Amino acid sequence: MGAKQVSSKSPPSKAMPVLTTDIAIIGAGVGGCIAAIALHQALGENCTITLIEKSDQAKTPQHETHQTPVKAGENLPPAAERILKKLGLYRRFISANQQGHMAQASMGMQSYWGNDQRQIVDNLSNPDGFGWQLNRSAFEKFLNECATEQGVKIHWSTTVCESIRHEEYWKCQLQTGEDRINLNAKFIIDASGRRASFARQQGAKRQALDRQVAYWATIANNTENQLSTIVTCPYGWWYSAALPNQQRVVALHTFSDLVPKNLRKNVYDFLMLARAIPQIAPLISTSVNYHGVTAANTCRMSQVAGSHWAAIGDAAVAFDPLSSQGMFNAMATAMQLSDLIKASDILNTESLPQRENQEKSIEHAYEKQIDSIWRHYLGHWQHYYQQEKRWLDQTYWRERNSFA
């Protein structure tokens, strides 16, 4: 699939400050930081890596580990330990979490799916050990610090507003506050999550398979049972999991037209629905921080790599939260792309024809890897939803089973 190399009318103005880097990574979340650290370790000190993050660093203070998580997505599956160990981060992760403010062990899941009988799946027999329930913001802060200590520069409150491929570099305009900066980068990685901001600039389109959203809240955790809980209902399914700092996440996964219109902002409607579910009601406390609604559908981009750029994590393929694989997918695709970049030696190639061949090789290999991940995920996704047969006359489950 050909790349759309021009996404602005003209190159950035020469009057602006110019920042030159080998690799620019858009998004300083889990995937972006893992990619930055992996590439630094693979390519060495002479490779310059820059992270571009739209959020404000002031909103993620040094001691956020004691605060309520404000980002959806908290499950780090056992297999993620392999990546942390490969990058030399695991011992530091354990050390930084000595007081348990960043993560706590995930004991397993109690599921009410397909019938009213509780089914328990624990992690005792998993060869990778326990997974983790995270304070997502604290974990990202930890990775930010690991990246900067390895020489990676993070530009906060910054977005890419224009981009054009010119000879050896992507030439971009960055917006940071009221200022603009020119950025020259040999390779760009889109780690911007479901926004897929750079991939969209190159003409890639989001291909959604469904319209699921999640309404979610964090509450005080007053229960001794630390197992996560999944329970289905006629209009979707509920999820809850214990988090660090005596917190708990509670989320409803459904279609927006199946619930009250004001549920997006109305915590009372959310709590009323939650308390109507027998397995969720005992978990609800009086201390509630309601976050509203977020996207929770299955989708992918029509193009995940092009001329000296590639997308990772949710910017390439976004999974249903039921899979509990979103964060791991961001980490795994970051590692896969890093390996391809290292193997190609594309950053050190001066010959334009040779560089173009290397770029096509990366694009083809990475697209093939993402296609394989996508097919594997779809098989499991469709199979699991088809196990619930009790409400096939209801809109949510009728649409879910239509994927058979």
301-326 confidence digits (pLDDT tens)? 999 999 999 999 999 999 999 999 99
What pLDDT score was predicted for residue 68?
Answer: 52
Domain assignment present for residue 369? The answer is yes
The full 3-state SS of the chain, as one line of letters, equals CCCCCECCCCCCCCCCCEEEEEEEEECCCHHHHHHHHHHHHHHCCCCCEEEECCCCHHHCCCCHHHCCCCCCCCEECCCHHHHHHHCCCHHHHHHHCCCCCCEEEECEEEEECCCCCCEEEECCCCCCCCEEEECHHHHHHHHHHHHHHCCCEEECCEEEEEEEEECCEEEEEEEECCEEEEEEEEEEEECCHHHCHHHHHCCCCEEECCCCEEEEEEEECCCCCCCEEEEEECCEEEEEEEECCCEEEEEEEECHHHCCHHHHCCHHHHHHHHHCCCCCHHHCCCCEEEEEEEECCCEEECCCEECCEEECHHHCEECCHHHCCHHHHHHHHHHHHHHHHHHHCHHHCCCHHHHHHHHHHHHHHHHHHHHHHHHHHHHHHHHHHCCCCCCCCCHHHHHHHCCC
- Number of independent structural domains in the chain: 1
257-307 confidence digits (pLDDT tens)? 999 999 999 999 999 999 999 999 999 988 999 999 999 999 999 999 999
Domain assignment present for residue 263? The answer is no
73-132 confidence digits (pLDDT tens)? 789 999 999 999 999 999 999 999 999 999 999 988 999 999 999 999 887 777 888 899
Domain assignment present for residue 260? The answer is no
Q: State the pTM of this model.
A: 0.92
Domain that holds residue 378: 18-107+133-208+301-384
Domain assignment present for residue 137? The answer is yes
Domain assignment present for residue 248? The answer is no
Domain assignment present for residue 348? The answer is yes
Q: The domain spanning residue 307 has which CATH number?
A: 3.50.50.60
Domain assignment present for residue 244? The answer is no
Domain assignment present for residue 97? The answer is yes
